[in-house]
Copies of this chain bind each other. A is one copy, B any other.
């Protein structure tokens, strides 16, 4: 994989400082705001139906996250998403906990049916459920999927016409034709709440400045993963790791991506 393209894209995020409009959960929303700022982009959180359509017109990307969904919020997601589609603003959907309850699965499915989602990013269980595979989701954690994850992602991507990202020790990114594997990251990223949500925020910022959602997703996951690797180096535990994760994201340089991104084409 040409890391030059990846590091250039990262430099472009820093240069353009895109606004990333989030409609997201109240658990990790502060982390999403801060990782977006640390990356060099600008977050805005707005979910009132009266304003989401107007707000999204200023945004470079719209991130939808159903971590603490409710009926009103889904309506706002549909409103904002419709406007984003009209303006060709990329939408990143993080279907947190799809498979854990019918309400989550149905809401994620409804967003996929009624909006043109650009990038669907989730863990193996969430994507597996939405792709119709046998998957086991408990709470917001994935507990295993039956089948080849790459094939599940690839088939679903083709069928649904979007870029699919399955996060894990190795992240899978595919638009059905191309398959990229991202090896960056560190197990400590699983020791705190919010890394999945933050990965979606970072992906939104990259998608805002890129033409190609596959490259944008892989670059975002590599950048976030490298920050995680660096943060893990000196961490005494999960929360000092978290502090370092924001610091390292802010300190990250395009050169770090050029040298450190571990993206392969399958």
Within 8 A of B (CB), among A148-205: 191-194
Other-chain contact of A103, B44, B51, B70 (Cβ < 8 Å):
B51
Q: Are B33 and A193 in contact (CB under 8 A)?
A: yes
A101 and B47 CA atoms in complex are apart in Å by 12
In the bound complex, CA of A52 to CA of B71 (Å): 13
Say yes or no for A264: interface residue by CB 8 A criterion. Answer: no
* CB 8 Å contact bits of A242-258 with B (1 = contact, 0 = none): 11111110110000000
Q: Which of A3-11, A82-90, A215-223, A233-241 contacts B (4 or more CB under 8 A)?
A: A233-241
A102 engages B33 (CB within 8 Å): no
Q: A34-B193, A34-B239, A139-B19 are in contact. Are A27 and B54 (CB under 8 A)?
A: no
Q: Which of A35-43, A108-116, A121-129, A206-214 contacts B (4 or more CB under 8 A)?
A: A35-43
In the complex, whether A146 has a CB less than 8 A from a CB of chain B is no
State the number of copies, please. 3
18 cross-chain CB contacts under 8 A? A25-B45, A26-B26, A26-B29, A26-B45, A27-B45, A28-B33, A34-B193, A37-B192, A37-B193, A43-B193, A44-B100, A48-B68, A50-B101, A51-B103, A54-B103, A55-B100, A237-B244, A240-B247
Q: Which of the residues B26, B27, B236, B247 comes within 8 Å of A239, measured between beta carbons?
A: B247
In the assembled complex, the CB of A197 is this many whole angstroms from the nearest CB of chain B, namely 11
Partner of A48 from B28, B71, B236 at Cβ < 8 Å: B71
Instruction: Assess A139 versus B43: contact at CB under 8 Å? Given A38-B239, A55-B101, A243-B239.
Output: yes
Q: Which positions in A face B, CB cutoff 8 Å?
A: 19, 21, 25-31, 33-34, 37-38, 42-48, 50-51, 54-55, 58-59, 67-71, 97, 100-104, 138-141, 191-194, 236-240, 242-248, 250-251
Residues of B within 8 A of A48 (CB): 68-71, 103
